[in-house]
Structure 1
Amino acid sequence: MSDPIIRPARTDEYDEIGRVWMESWVSTGLAEASDFLLANLRARVRREIEDGWTLFVADDVGTIAAMLALHLPKLYLDMLFVGPAYQGQSLGRKLLAFTRTHMPDEIHLRCVRENEKAWRWYEREGFVFEKEEISPVTGFTMKCYRWKRADTRV
């Protein structure tokens, strides 16, 4: 595996992005892979793009290693999912650094409360917990976080 390149997603990749999303989500232990889940995530990719997502992929010489969905006007990191074969290789950190180039001053995100590995990682990356809320889309309890660039003025 080489170092994946982060680039805008292409329309013809949406189905594959849905598959990577499902495999990554399933790797959390919070869901089981199914044709139903895959179909829902593939449909959701298209729906969310219509609703304002800017979608990126980490491309490993033609293989989609990860997906990153940003909602730039809302300063919102909506989805960051790394495929299981690429987890533990700092690709998530690279995607977060890429996100900070697009939203250098402030980023908001939500993370499923039961996905402790993910929210603990965001906390280590400087995100501060703000509140919990129920997702109207999934019904999961979400932990809401915010990262704000430190003021470097003296």
Structure 2
Amino acid sequence: MSQPVIRSARPDEYDEVGRVWMESWVSTGLGEASDFLLANLRARIRREIENGWSLFVADDHGTIAAMLALHLPKLYLDMLFVAPDYQGQSLGRKLLAFTRTQMPDEMYLRCVRENEKAWRWYEREGFVYEKEEVEPSNGFMMKYYGWKRPRPAE
């Protein structure tokens, strides 16, 4: 199986990106799939792009395997969601490596506290826990992380 190609998302793919986002979110056990959730995520993609998101997809021969949303001016990795059929294949690690080409010196992210699999993965990938705070828009307790490029030994 070839590795999906990471590239910028096209506007005609935004609805499919929303579906991948929902299915990945539901796979965490923290939410349930619904038409309402899907419509909200699809609308949010367009709104976030207007507000500065750079949206990328992992394209597996025309199938969107993952989504990656970066807010480059804020050095923020906002969303990284891998479709359930592609989880466990190191695609998240490939997306994170790509992210480090876009923000090579430092970046920040947040993760739902109850999504232990995700935040433990970020910690293994070198992110440092900073704080916890409730996200007012959804009521989830969020864990905030930062990463800085390691300095070479002197």
When normalised by structure 2's length, the TM-score is 0.98
SS of 2:88's equivalent? coil
Distance 2:136 2:45 in 1: 17
Distance 1:30 1:67 in 2: 18
What is residue 148 of structure 2 aligned with on the other side? 148
Secondary structure in 2 matching 1:13: helix
Give the aligned partner of residue 44 of structure 2: 44
Distance 1:140 1:70 in 2: 21
Give the secondary structure class of the aligned counterpart of 2:137.
coil
Is residue 21 of structure 2 the alignment partner of residue 8 of structure 1? Answer: no
Aligned to 1:59: 59
- Name the structure 1 match of 2:138: 138
Question: What's the counterpart of residue 70 of structure 1?
Answer: 70
Query: How far has the Cα of 1:2 moved from its partner?
Result: 2.3
- RMSD of the TM alignment (CA)? 0.8
Q: CA deviation at 1:153?
A: 5.0
Gaps of 5+ in 2: none
Output the CA distance in 1 between the equivalents of 2:8 and 2:57: 6
SS of 2:123's partner is helix
- What residue is the counterpart of 1:94 in the other structure? 94
Aligned AA (1:138): N
Task: Give the aligned length.
Answer: 154
Provide structure 1 residue ranges, at least 5 long, that are not aligned to the other structure.
none
